[in-house]
Structure 1
Amino acid sequence: MLIKHGWHSLKRALVAWSTALLTLGLGLALVMIVAGSARADSGALGLMQAFEAARDNDPMFRGAQAERQAGLEFADIGRARVLPTISAVVSNNRNTATVTSSNGAVDNRGAYTGSSASLQLRHPLYDREAWASRDLGLARTAASEAAYRAREQDLIVRVFDAYTKALLAREEVSHLRTQLLGLDEQMRSNEQRFARGEGTRTDVLETTSKQALLRAQLIEMQDNEENARNALQAIVGRPVQRLASLKPEAAAAVPEAGPLEAWRLRAIASNGDIESLRQAVEVARQELRRIQSGHHPRLDLLLSTGRSVSDTTATFQQTSRTRTVGVQLSVPIYSGGGISAQARQAAAQLAKAEADLDAKLAELQVELHRQYTLQRSSGARILALQSAVDTSLVLIDATRKSVLGGERTNADVLDARERLSRAERDFAQARYQQLLAGLRLRGLAGVLQTDDLRAVATQFTAGP
């Protein structure tokens, strides 16, 4: 009985130890999983990481890739029109025939099998429509290639724009929180001075009102930050928790060299959208040429060979082999006026394509001048705003001391803090705008590359 009791005690102890070890193991595993997730999420999404993710996940760019792949086939489709076509026809039939001659004799042939096989090659010797279709296909392929190049450069700009908007929204939230902390300190100072009889209830009310306004702005800015982060996530196709920041010591970008006219000429020659529209004009021109070819004759070379066994009643129980070499001439005479109507329609489409190209060129001139001016003038603006931030910091301290001396009021301190906030926000925005203007300028000129974005990314801090 004693032995049995001891065995049960030992068994319960083993079960308890096993349960404790299992619980400890699950706890450690959970801690490791959470720690691993924390480490995975702790790294900031760098600018180049965002761009590489966007290349794989951005719906607009994936659509551009598919459109380009489809456009590459236009050249082969058009080229096929001027190449020979080879066709084969094979038939095998089960027939039942009764032949009645003109003299009334009846020949009942019963059921029999007939077959035929032929191989034909047709090659255009003179076909203006085929030649126009070939050139039309080449122009469409060139247009799709140019459009894809423009979308690839546009992706660089869109990623940087969305990335910096998310950064700017985050910085605005941070600035508002810093202001609120400063106002908390200001409120304590107001209350202490009021308690000592040196301040007024108006000072406390002014600071309280300013705090309420900043809290309302903070809620709005937090919503803006979330919206900006969601916009970036839609492009990169992955959750975004943290972003790399622009280095505080990052210098203002050096303006792109060269006069505006040089950039204009470069844009006209290399801009992807302009080249795409230029090829669209060529597409419309070749389409008009193709339609007008409907009034021209067509001459084809024909080569054929065939074999037939009892394929008709006239060749019953006969086997024949034929080989043919010849030319076929087709001359259009009248088609109800359809070709002329299509030609007039195609001419109107050509005029529209030329107008679209002219409109895009005019739009490019305006945008190129804007980005060129912005990129060149933002360096001086950044320096001025940096000076404004430094001056505002000194002004706040000086104003607070003047309040203690009775020379300034609490409202002056609040105004100084607000000016500092605006200067800090404008300074951060100006730094991003200069970098963005440089990328857009190169994009408009059609020379923007991934290396340009990589050079800009070096001015951002790497994620931990």
Structure 2
Amino acid sequence: MIATVKRRIAAGIAVLIVAGSPMVSAAESLGDALADAYRNSGLLEQNRALLRAADEDVATTLSQLRPILNWTASLSRNFGTNRTNLGSSGISRNEVSLGLSAELLIYDGGESQLAMEAAKETVLATRQTLVSIEQQVLLEAVNAFMNVRRDSETVALRQNNLRLITRELRAAEDRFEVGEVTRTDVALAEARLAGARAELAVAQGNLMQSREQYAAAVGREPGSLTPPPRLPTLANSLDEAKAVAVRTHPEIRSVQHQVSAAELNVARNEATMSPTVKLRGSYGLTEQTNSSDYSRGGSVSLDLTQPIYQGGRISALVRKAMAQRDAQRANLHVAGLSVRQQVGNAWANLLSSRAQIEASQRQVQAAQIAFEGVREEATLGARTTLDVLNAEQELLNARSNLISAQSGQIVAAYSVLSTMGLLTADHLNLNVEQYDPLEYYNQVKTAPTSMSRQGRQLDKLLKRLGKE
């Protein structure tokens, strides 16, 4: 009976160890994971495309300050009957018309120029939103990396615990056979072994989930992950961290540009009350295909218009723009408070994780000494099997707490860096080709046409961006 139980236990341990063992692959660092997350993120690609769309708004508003040229062509057939006192005659002729028109905005109170400046501020705000997304992607990669490391170490710890309890079960069985302990001690060891196997299964399930999280965050399956060499460089104090965050956090900088855009939109709507001056010109040709009759001519005009009354629409738009400006100003205040709170929370988590590591290290040391002492005393008959199992469980809990605290410290440190606005590929000096938002903007800010040399260069840039 006892031999059969031993064989089943050994077989179960072998299956669990094989199931929990990670695949052997090249070792990779946290920097490697962050670089791949930056390269493979679909979320980053989505927001880069949104930024390029905002860049085009600048080109769209600039086009309103340039001449507008249109050509027209028509082919018509006129037919009918013409009746007079002298009699009636049929009408039948074909006409071909060609025309060219031009329009140039000379003055509109600065409305178009203000619209272009507001579009530029929106571009700057969108760039900061892209930085926020970049920080989000990199922090998620840090979380995924440390979760895989934590759960891998937990699985190894549980496997080792399983082996220890198995040895304790065998020792209890041997002592039971010679009459040193009762069947109760053996049952206690068997129950603790079953619990250890269940905990190992849970740990292996957690590891599988962490590996899936890693694949989603980094864009590939995890290999053999090396420990982070050191914590990132942070501020020396909480006040210093908050001061840096207020200056550099992308959320605050984005809202600052949104405030500027809203102020420009107020002035833009006020400018719609100003006169508008446009220069217009046209030239056309009309010829009859069945005769030699034709007409050619053109016109040039300088048009001046100004709204007098539009049912209160313009005033309403101005007030709406003012309300939106006030909302953005309030949003800036809210963003500042939120960022300061985020820094404070992340800083508190970092301090807490440091304290947890120190306490857990002392707990592991004490639990190790206690376990070795209880196990030695048990061999002399001064301790029971339950005492040994409890001491081993205390040591297991202490080591598990230390693993979680060490992982939490890394995540907390990078969270502080994120709340300061510094968790970027540039600040971390990642080994990646960084996306340059100016490259596309500089190509489109002058609103090039597809037929121009710059337009052809832009087509090449778009093809390259589409392949990345």
TM-score normalised by length of structure 2? 0.76
Superposed, 1:192-207 pairs within 5 Å as 192-207=174-189
Q: Is the 8 A contact 1:71 1:145 kept in 2?
A: no
CA contact (8 A) 1:72 1:141 kept: yes
Q: CA deviation at 1:284?
A: 3.5
Alignment of 1:334-413 (within 5 A): 334-376=309-351, 378-413=353-388
| C-alpha contact (below 8 Å) 1:149/1:272 kept by paired residues | yes
TM-fit CA distance, 1:142: 0.8
Q: Which residue of 1 aligns with 2:227?
A: 246
Gaps of 5+ in 1: 1-39, 457-464
Q: Distance in 1 between matches of 2:115 and 2:85?
A: 57
Q: Deviations over 1:328-378 (max 9, x none)?
A: 222223333334444444444444433433333222112201222333564
Cα distance in 1 between the residues matched to 2:161 and 2:108: 80
State yes or no: 1:269 paired with 2:234: no
Q: CA deviation at 1:218?
A: 1.8
Deviation at 1:400, TM superposition (A): 0.9
Give 1:256 shift. Answer: 2.4
Change in CA separation of 1:56 and 1:255 when aligned onto 2, cut-off 3 Å: closer
Counterparts in 2 of 1:82-161, with a 5 A limit?
A: 83-96=65-78, 110-161=92-143
- Structure 1 residues 41, 425: CA separation in 2 closer, same or farther (over 3 Å shift)? closer
SS at match of 2:225: coil
Higher deviation after alignment, 87-96 or 207-216: 87-96
Q: Secondary structure at the match of 1:286?
A: helix
CA displacement at 1:453 relative to structure 2: 4.9
Residue 446 of structure 1 aligns to a residue whose secondary structure is coil
Aligned to 2:434: none
CA distance in 1, matches of 2:385, 2:183: 11
In the alignment, is residue 69 of structure 1 matched against residue 52 of structure 2?
yes
Figure out how many residues of one structure are paired with residues of the other and give that number.
406
Aligned-pair distance for 1:380?
Answer: 5.0
Conserved 8 A contact 1:299-1:327: no
Query: Which one is further off, 391-400 or 409-418?
Result: 409-418
SS in 1 for 2:283: strand
Q: Which one of 285, 289, 305 corresponds to residue 308 of structure 1? A: 285
Amino acid at match of 1:233: A
Q: Could you give the per-residue CA deviations for residues 368-406 of structure 1, whole angstroms, max 9, x where no partner exists?
A: 012223335644543442332233222211111122344
Partner residue in 1 for 2:40:
57
Are residue 42 (structure 1) and residue 25 (structure 2) matched?
Answer: yes
One of 248, 256, 266 as aligned partner of 2:234: 256
Q: Which residue in the other structure is 1:427 paired with?
A: 402
TM-score (ref. length: structure 1)? 0.77
Question: Is the contact made by 2:80 and 2:90 (CA closer than 8 Å) also made in structure 1?
Answer: yes
Match of 2:464 in 1: none
Deviations 1:208-240 (A, max 9, x none): 222222222222222111111111112233334
8 Å CA contact 1:76–1:137 kept in 2: the answer is no
Corresponding position of 2:297: 321
Counterpart amino acid of residue 133 in structure 1: A
Structure 2 residue identity aligned to 1:301: K
Q: Note the residue ranges of structure 2 that are not aligned, 5 or more in a row.
A: 1-22, 432-468
* DSSP-derived class of the 1:42 partner: coil
Q: Give 1:408 deviation, angstroms.
A: 3.6
Change (3 A) 1:299 1:106: farther
Report the secondary structure of 2:162's partner residue.
helix
Q: Give 1:79 shift.
A: 2.7
Contact in 2 for aligned 1:127/1:298 (Cα 8 Å): yes
Letter in 2 for 1:268: V
Q: Are the aligned partners of 2:284 and 2:296 in contact in 1 as well (CA < 8 Å)?
A: yes
| Aligned-residue offset at 1:310 | 4.9
Is 2:417 aligned against 1:442? yes
Partner Cα separation in structure 2 for residue 243 and residue 105 of structure 1:
103
Q: 1:129 deviation in Å?
A: 3.0
Mapped partners of 1:134, 1:453: distance in 2:
34
Cα 1:153–1:373 shift into 2, 3 Å: same
CA distance in 1, matches of 2:283, 2:60: 29
| Mapped pair 1:166 → 2:148 | yes
Residues of 2 paired with 1:436 and 1:127: CA distance? 54
Q: Are the counterparts in 2 of residues 122 and 303 from structure 1 also a CA contact under 8 Å?
A: yes
Q: Would the aligned equivalents of 2:38 and 2:138 in 1 still touch at CA under 8 Å?
A: no
1:416 is paired with a residue of what secondary structure?
A: helix
Distance between the aligned counterparts of 1:194 and 1:105, measured in 2? 136
Q: Within the alignment, does 1:180 sit opposite 2:162 as a pair?
A: yes
CA distance in 2, matches of 1:275, 1:104: 84
Structure exhibiting the larger radius of gyration computed from Cα positions: 1
Residue of structure 2 equivalent to 1:278: 256
132-141 or 414-423, larger mean C-alpha shift: 414-423
Alignment-mate amino acid for residue 255 of structure 2? L
Question: By how many angstroms is 1:181 displaced?
Answer: 0.7
Q: Tell me: CA distance 1:99–1:41, structure 2 relative to 1, closer, same or farther (3 Å).
A: farther
Q: Distance in 2 between matches of 1:445 and 1:387?
A: 32
Return the letter of the residue paired with 2:395: L
Hey, what's the Cα distance between the residues in 2 that align with 1:176 and 1:444?
Answer: 35
Deviation at 1:207, TM superposition (A): 2.0
Change (3 A) 1:453 1:331: closer
Identity within the alignment, %: 22
Task: Report if aligned partners of 2:37, 2:138 keep a CA contact under 8 Å in 1.
Answer: no
Shift of 1:182: 0.7
Give yes or no for contact 2:51–2:127 (8 Å, CA) kept in 1: yes
SS at match of 1:363: helix
1:275 aligned partner, one-letter code? R
Contact 2:346 2:412 in 1 (8 A): yes
Instruction: Report the Cα distance in structure 1 between the residues aligned to 2:398 and 2:86, rounded to whole angstroms.
Output: 113
